[in-house]
A and B are shown apart, each in its own frame.
Chain A
Amino acid sequence: MRTNTKLFIVAGLLVGLALALFLSPFASSKPDGLEKVATDEGFDGTVGDHDTADSPLADYGVEGVDNEKLGTALAGLIGVLLTFGIGLGLFAGMRVLAPRSNSPPDGRASGSGPRQHTGVR
């Protein structure tokens, strides 16, 4: 991976963290499209308690943080970092476990060689 790609990933992660930290506390708290339709059409009554309602991060808050906006911001920060970490592990793991038949044996699939056809047309 080129340094520039690493820089791009880090910069992208920082933007994502900033969105979660600074914008999510000010997101609309109105019911979303499905919740609104469920209420209007009368099928919201069958919702059960969520299995992880006791999670310390339930409903995008942080247990023990009473300030709602701060809790949302921290929950967002934790969620973005966790998703990034699990995602990196998942996709890097898939690369390691994948059969190598589609990649040239000299590792040139890493983007330093002739074009790979990985997109549209």
Chain B
Amino acid sequence: MHVPDGFFNAGTSVGAGVVSAGTVAVCLKKASAELNDRLAPLAGLTAAFIFALQMLNFPVASGTSGHLLGGTLAAVLVGPWAGTLCVALVLLVQGMLFADGGLTAYGLNVLLIAIIPAFVGYALFRAARRLLPATSGAVVSASAIAALISVPVAAAVFSILYGIGGAVDLSFGAVLGAMVGVHALVGIGEAIITAAVVSAVVSVRPDLVYGAADLRRPYADLNPSGTAPAAS
């Protein structure tokens, strides 16, 4: 869903840039307070992993593909603050070096691919976890549900922004319907990939998953063998 240069008028691009810059500033402050010896390298790994996963376009319908946005995955793994920064970094590398995502649309892309999926996804993840038992399986299920919904939500926000400041005057309902329709399908892929990665990390090192912090056993870190305790 990388927005190229030219899709939006200057005012909307600048407006989204201001909102994204402000949100990233808050994320830098909040994430700084949370970072520790483990979360800092894990956040670097999360960014690198999302870069790799975003290259893996999967077919979603005839003649259409989709790829992971990754905001929900990053938020579950390292929290919404650091998670937003991870995806914003991926977008910066893609825009600066890989000519993917317009540079004038960087603020829009941070909003649509990093901020909305991370924070909407994390809110949905927390809501789902409250309804589910406190098990590692529920962490995986909740991350899948959150990822599934986060993608069409981002598509809906794109449509609203396009209605406000899109370069072409189109029916809002037509853009919304088309964007949400195809991205509901992309969301299924997002859910599968997010669940697979969260499941793998939770099974190996549940103590490293931000969204599973409540499952950690007290003093599990002191286990000298370094093996992760079984979480379910």
B131 within 8 A of A: no
Known: A47-B5, A58-B98, A117-B213. A30 touches B204 (CB 8 A): no
Closest residue to B125 on the A side, CB-wise? A120
Minimal beta-carbon separation of A8 from chain B (angstroms): 6
The answer to whether A83 and B175 touch across the interface, beta carbons within 8 angstroms, is no
The answer to whether B47 and A87 touch across the interface, beta carbons within 8 angstroms, is yes
The answer to whether B49 and A16 touch across the interface, beta carbons within 8 angstroms, is yes
- Give a binary string over B98-140; 1 marks a CB under 8 Å from any A CB, 0 the rest: 1110111000000000000000000001100110000000000
A45 within 8 A of B: yes
The answer to whether A48 and B40 touch across the interface, beta carbons within 8 angstroms, is no
A66 within 8 A of B: no
The answer to whether B212 and A119 touch across the interface, beta carbons within 8 angstroms, is yes
Which of A12, A28, A45 neighbours the largest number of chain B CB atoms within 10 Å of its CB?
A12
The answer to whether A46 and B31 touch across the interface, beta carbons within 8 angstroms, is no
B10 within 8 A of A: no
The answer to whether A75 and B98 touch across the interface, beta carbons within 8 angstroms, is yes
The answer to whether B97 and A79 touch across the interface, beta carbons within 8 angstroms, is yes
Main secondary structure of the interface of B (DSSP, over half): helix
Partner of B82, one of A5, A52, A91, A119: A91
> A87 to B85, alpha carbons, bound, how many Å?
9
Interface size class of B (residues with CB under 8 A): 35 or more
Minimal beta-carbon separation of B109 from chain A (angstroms): 11
The answer to whether B204 and A8 touch across the interface, beta carbons within 8 angstroms, is yes
The answer to whether B129 and A34 touch across the interface, beta carbons within 8 angstroms, is no
The answer to whether A90 and B37 touch across the interface, beta carbons within 8 angstroms, is no
> A51 to B103, alpha carbons, bound, how many Å?
7
Contacts of A3 in B (CB 8 A): 226
- Give a binary string over B142-161; 1 marks a CB under 8 Å from any A CB, 0 the rest: 00000000000001001000
Contacts of A118 in B (CB 8 A): 34, 39, 79, 210, 213
Contacts of B221 in A (CB 8 A): 2, 111-112
A106 within 8 A of B: no
B45 within 8 A of A: yes
Known: A5-B38, A41-B178, A119-B210. A34 touches B65 (CB 8 A): no
Minimal beta-carbon separation of B26 from chain A (angstroms): 13
- Give a binary string over A1-26; 1 marks a CB under 8 Å from any B CB, 0 the rest: 11111101100110111011001100
Minimal beta-carbon separation of B124 from chain A (angstroms): 12
Other 20 A-B pairs with CB < 8 A, given A28-B59, A91-B85, A117-B213: A5-B42, A9-B44, A16-B49, A20-B51, A30-B57, A47-B6, A49-B5, A51-B99, A51-B104, A52-B98, A60-B98, A60-B100, A83-B90, A83-B93, A91-B82, A95-B40, A98-B35, A111-B37, A118-B34, A118-B79
A-B contact pairs, 27 of them (CB 8 A): A4-B227, A12-B45, A16-B49, A19-B56, A24-B56, A27-B55, A33-B182, A40-B178, A41-B178, A43-B168, A46-B6, A46-B167, A47-B6, A50-B5, A50-B99, A76-B52, A83-B48, A87-B89, A91-B43, A95-B32, A97-B32, A98-B32, A103-B36, A112-B221, A116-B36, A118-B34, A121-B130
